[in-house]
Amino acid sequence: MLLNQGQAAPAAGDNLVSDTTTQTFMQDVVEESRKRPVLVDFWAPWCGPCKTLSPVIEKVIRAAKGKVKLVKMNIDEHPAVAQQLGIQSIPTVYAFVNGQPVDGFMGALPESQVAAFVERLAGKIEGGVGDILKEADALLMAGDAAGAAELYAQVLAEESDNVHALGGLARSHVEGGNLAAAQQTLSLVPKGKENDPAVATARAALELAERAASVGDLADLEAKVATNAADHQARFDLAVALNAKGMREQALDHLLEIIRRQRNWNEDAARKQLLQFFEAWGPADEMTVEGRRRLSSLLFS
């Protein structure tokens, strides 16, 4: 294996860090993640931040002593998987568990944040705050924003800088329609942790909710699209409004229809909006997985 600058050489007999290809991705990542969590580091030789992140993430993975594996994918040589996942910038790291992407982050995070991410993935946080956060996440996913908010607030009463709880509380406020409270909650995120996945998801959800408030009445937009199927702006605004109402599949359908009809409309606005949907929904959300699959099929068919 040829090593690029910034890549640490694996120790003899070390199987915690390896490279993968498009052909071996299923075995190296999907199947392996059924045994233990797998991080996939999407990188390229020309990427400066990739060279910064590489030795950091490898150090953290080896410190975890086998609880998590790192697989590296050079997107210059093997672009298909990154394209399918909608990755637009590198370094991007995805965490796979039981064959599915469940979390991730972008950029060359400092070692402390990478270590916290891997620790959370490895399941070291057991009981106490960890259990409360799991219950809060489940409530939020089930649509009980008020119940989730109470639990996130309970965690923050003990750990005011808990980024998972701050992101979750902000999302709860968004789901409850209290956008000002969501913005206030995000302002409490500690400096340097703005790119934490929980925060990025909440920020994307807030931006979408704010945009939905300005696109107009849902019925009017539906009427415009019914009258003129080629009115891409009305269809785009309708997708944003539908997403705000929790109608994710219908929102997904409309954006994909724009791409099908005129892929590069408004400087690729429909595809970019889809990627923001995926960020707001989270990498493990059922509609994110389905949406990425359908988008890839449309773009690369």
Catalytic site includes residue 142: no
192-204 per-residue burial string, b: 16 or more CB within 10 A, e: under 16: ebeebbbbbbbbb
CA distance 145 to 139: 7
Q: Answer yes or no: are the C-beta atoms of 263 and 275 closer than 8 Å.
A: no
pLDDT of residue 75: 94
Radius of gyration of the chain (CA): 20
Could you say which architecture CATH assigns to the domain 129-212? Alpha Horseshoe (1.25)
Full-model pTM? 0.53
Residues facing 71 on adjacent strands: 18, 40
Lookup result for tokens 């969501």 = 182
Reported for 261-270, long-range contacts at CB under 8 A and 24+ positions apart, including other chains, are 261/230, 261/232, 262/232, 263/299, 265/232, 266/232, 266/233, 266/236, 269/236, 270/232, 270/236, 270/239
Catalytic residue, from 17, 47, 155, 241: name it.
Answer: 47
The phi and psi torsions of 106 (rounded to 5 degrees) equal -120, 150
Write down the domain spans for the chain.
17-121, 129-212, 218-280
Residue 293: exposure state from Cβ atoms within 10 A (0-12, 13-18, ≥19): exposed
pLDDT of residue 101: 80
User: For residue range 87-113, what is the model confidence (pLDDT) as tens digits?
Assistant: 888 999 998 877 778 778 889 999 988
Catalytic site includes residue 50: yes
CA distance 127 to 235: 46
Q: What is the CATH topology of the domain spanning 17-121?
A: Glutaredoxin (3.40.30)
pLDDT of residue 97: 77
pLDDT lower than 70: segments of the chain = 1-14, 123-128, 301
pLDDT of residue 2: 33
Catalytic residue, from 17, 38, 40, 50: name it.
Answer: 50
CA distance 45 to 72: 12
pLDDT of residue 123: 63
Same fold, 17-121 and 129-212: no
